[in-house]
Structure 1
Amino acid sequence: MKMIQKLMLLFVLIFWSCTINGKKSDVEAEEKRDYQHFHKEARAFCKAQNFNEDYYFLVDFNVHSGKDRFFIYDFKTNKISNTNLVTHGSCDKFEANETKWEKVKFSNENNSHCSSKGKYKIGKRDYSSWGIKIKYWLHGLEATNSNAVERVVVLHSWEAVGNKEIYPEYSPLSWGCPAVSDAFMELLDAKLRQTQKPVLLWIIE
């Protein structure tokens, strides 16, 4: 009788464990965002606008700033080839970045120091006083980011940005630029210098 009771208890524990693990997996699956419709739209945009059709850059500011949220998507393999950290704008709030990752504010106004969402054309390679001393001008292609050049919102590196995920810690805040690590900027720079057509950078939330 005791053996039967032990077996029944063991069965209940196994069933409960599987149920909990299953729920956890479901939650994790729900939290993982599906970017396929962004990739599809980006591909069509690049083809229509005569942009580079090998790859594009996608930045998701809905992701915690301590996690990778800068994605290089390869149109040829239909896969994300590289990921890394990237900063978002401070909106003139310069205290420690504690929970602002989930409160990213967007603005196209001059001197706002906020990020601007939308599609950008990556433009001229130029000198930067930050990171590896290289920046790329960003030309906003939508009403939400049309002042990017005037605001000097550029793609550059910054020593303060990590080269691997630091979650649950947070990445530093920028003045509106999508700043990446020095090592990742070297990778981006190598890719951008090889292309003859403009590359798409798309910031979403």
Structure 2
Amino acid sequence: MKNALLIVFISFICCNNAIEEVPRKDYATQHQQALAYCRQKGFNDDYYFLVDLSVHSGKNRFFVYDFKKQRISNENLVTHGSCDVLEDNKDKWEKAKFSNANNSHCSAKGKYKIGKRDYSGWGIKVKYWLHGLEPTNSNAEQRVVVLHSWSAVANEEIFPDYAPLSWGCPAVSDDFMRTLDTKLQATDKPVLLWIIE
């Protein structure tokens, strides 16, 4: 009887772990397209930043991809926009909505060039201007959608809890921003940030 109960208990644990383990998406197509884009545009072709806003905000969804080693070298949490001006955005915590409109407080999809390093009132007091390269994010500068840190963003996965909401900026933890800042200060070429869903 004890053995039977032990087997049932072990099976329960194994099954529950299997349910919780969701395999990571395969971003091979995005990595190939990003490398081609970086080479064509004269961007840094050592690495780029990929943000997948289809992933739950309590899970890592900001990825630093190393083109040379062909692997993700760093990953962490990142916020998405609250879109709080939209009346129908009741599920704003669960699903990112997108808009390029001024004052929308939404995230904006597409490729960005990471621009000038500047002072921020948030986190470690550093921000990078983002220059939208597509019609879906062309108002990034006007909207002051920037890459910055925020002390409210955790430095590790918090699923099933959610990351806080931003006004459209991809905000990361202070520690992760220090990692990104070190990388960005060490390159002379612009770096690609690509937000997808």
TM-score (norm 2): 0.87
SS of 1:103's partner is: coil
Matched, 1:192 2:192: no
Q: Could you tell me how far 1:102 is from its partner in structure 2?
A: 3.5
The residue aligned with 2:109 is: 117
Q: Could you tell me how far 1:93 is from its partner in structure 2?
A: 6.0
Amino-acid identity (%): 69
The answer for unaligned runs of 5 or more in structure 2 is none
Retained in 1: the 8 A contact 2:82–2:93? no
Matched, 1:78 2:51: no
Please provide the CA RMSD for this pair. Answer: 2.6
Retained in 2: the 8 A contact 1:57–1:70? yes
Q: Could you tell me how far 1:98 is from its partner in structure 2?
A: 9.0
Q: Could you tell me how far 1:100 is from its partner in structure 2?
A: 2.8
Matches for 1:86-101 after TM superposition, within 5 Å: 86-92=78-84, 99-101=91-93
TM-score (norm 1): 0.84
Q: Which runs of 4+ in 1 moved over 3 A?
A: 24-29
Q: Could you tell me how far 1:32 is from its partner in structure 2?
A: 2.9
Matched, 1:152 2:149: no
* Number of residue pairs aligned between Structure 1 and Structure 2: 190
Q: Could you tell me how far 1:103 is from its partner in structure 2?
A: 2.3
Residues 122-160 of structure 1, C-alpha deviation per residue, up to 9 Å, x if partnerless? 000001011111000000000000000000000000010
Matched, 1:143 2:135: yes
Pick from 162, 165, 180 the counterpart of residue 172 of structure 2: 180
Q: 1:99 to 1:66 in 2, by over 3 A?
A: farther
Q: Separation in 2 of the partners of 1:123 and 1:105?
A: 24
Residues 2-54 of structure 1, C-alpha deviation per residue, up to 9 Å, x if partnerless? xxxxxxxx9xx89xx6xxx79x869956x531100000000000000000000
The residue aligned with 2:98 is: 106
Letter in 2 for 1:33: K
SS of 2:114's partner is: strand
Matched, 1:134 2:121: no
Retained in 1: the 8 A contact 2:93–2:165? no
The residue aligned with 1:7 is: none
SS of 2:35's partner is: helix
SS of 1:136's partner is: strand
More helix by share: 1
Q: Separation in 2 of the partners of 1:106 and 1:69?
A: 17
